[in-house]
Amino acid sequence: MRFLLTDEQREFARTLDGMLGASGTPAVVRAWAAGEQKPGRELWSRVAAAGVFALAVPERHRGMGPLPVELALSFVELGRHAVPGPLVETVAAAAFLERLGEEAGAGGWLPRIAAGDAVVSLCAGAPYALDADAADDVLVVQGDTVRRTDTHGPVQPSFDPARRLARPLGGTVVARGPAVTAAAAHAVDVARLATAAQSLGLGRALLAATVSHAERRAQFQVPIGSFQAVKHRLADTLMGLEFAQPLVYAAALALAAGAPSAGREVAAAKVAAGEAGYAAARTALQLHGALGYTEELDLSLWIRKARPLRDAWGTPADCRARVLAG
C-alpha cells in the first residue's frame, strides 16, 4: 500500500505542531504532575479549538468525524509535544458513546467533548482510570456493563508522574448488554490507534533531541555523533520509527473503512509504534549519559512517557495475541 498525506492533512499537522510548540508544554506537564490542572485545561481548550476532539465526534453531534487518519495525525503531534491529560481516553469515550447512543447520554456529552468543554476518562478492562481526578466524568466498563462515576480513590504513583492513576469508585449503571461490549471493543481500537500515534510522535521527538545532543556533545575532541556505534544506534532507532509509521496510518485507514481486519491492524500498529517509541527513549537515555537521568532536564518528561504508552491499552503481548487471533 502506498500512503500519502494530502496537502490539507500536512498543513493541519504543521499548524498543530506550531501551536503546541509555542505552548510551553514542559511547564504544563510539570504542573499536571503536581495536580495543578489549570495550565493543562487551558492547553486542552486550545487543542479543542484546533479541532482535535471534534475529529472523534460525528457531525450530528457538532463534530467533524469520525476521521481516524486525521485523529492519528493529531496524536502524533500531541505525543511529539508530550501534552498531558486523558487525551486518548476522551476520544475513546467519544467513540464508545457514539456507538452506544442515547442510552449512555451521547447527545449530551459528545458536543461538549468536541468543543473541549468536557474531559472524560474511559476505563475499560483495567483497575485504574487515567486522570480521574481531573476528569468531569469517568466511564467504567466491566464486562457488558458500563457505569458513570465522578468518585475515585487516591492517586497512585506512576512511572510517568503526569499519568495520574486512580481507582474509580461507586457510580451509576447506565447501560448493560451486548451493545456495551461491542461499543467497548470499538473504543479500545480507537484508544490503541491514538496511543500508537502518540508513541510515534514521542519517539520522533526523542530521536530529534538525541541527534541534536550527539552533534553538540564532544568526546576526544570530536562530536559523539561521529562515532560509528552512536550512528548505528541512532539509525536503528530511526528505522523502528520509519517502519511503525505506515502501520499506524494503515490501521487508521482500516478503522475508517470499518474493515474486518481493523482490530488486528490497530493492534499491530500499537506493537510497532510502542516498541519504537520505547527504543527511542532507551537510546536517548543512553546517549545523553548522566543527563538523561536528570529530572530537571525537560527530556526526562518525554523519556518517562515511553514505557507507559507502550503498555497502555494493551501490552505488546496483548496486542500480539490480538494479531495472531485472526
Q: How far apart are CA 159 and CA 123, in angstroms?
A: 19
Which pLDDT value is given to residue 45?
Answer: 97
Cis peptide before 66 (omega within 30 of 0): yes
Taking the alpha carbons at both ends of the chain, their separation in whole angstroms is 20
> What strands lie across the sheet with 120-124, from one edge to the other?
120-124, 137-142, 145-149, 172-176
Q: How far apart are CA 132 and CA 114, in angstroms?
A: 19
- What is the SS3 assignment for 171? coil
Show the cell assigned to 303.
523519556
Which pLDDT value is given to residue 299?
Answer: 94
Show the cell assigned to 240.
523502528
Per-residue pLDDT of the chain (326 residues; tens, 9 = 90+): 566 889 999 999 999 999 999 999 999 999 999 999 999 999 999 999 999 999 999 999 999 989 999 999 999 999 999 999 999 999 999 999 999 988 778 889 999 999 999 999 999 988 999 999 999 999 999 999 999 999 999 999 889 999 999 999 999 999 999 999 999 999 999 999 999 999 999 999 999 999 999 888 877 888 877 789 999 999 999 999 999 999 999 999 999 999 999 999 999 999 999 999 999 999 999 999 877 778 889 999 999 999 999 999 999 999 999 999 97
Q: How far apart are CA 205 and CA 210, in angstroms?
A: 9
Q: How far apart are CA 191 and CA 199, in angstroms?
A: 12
Reported pTM: 0.95
Q: How far apart are CA 32 and CA 54, in angstroms?
A: 23
Q: How far apart are CA 13 and CA 268, in angstroms?
A: 23
Which of 121, 162, 155 is closest to 29 using CA atoms? 162
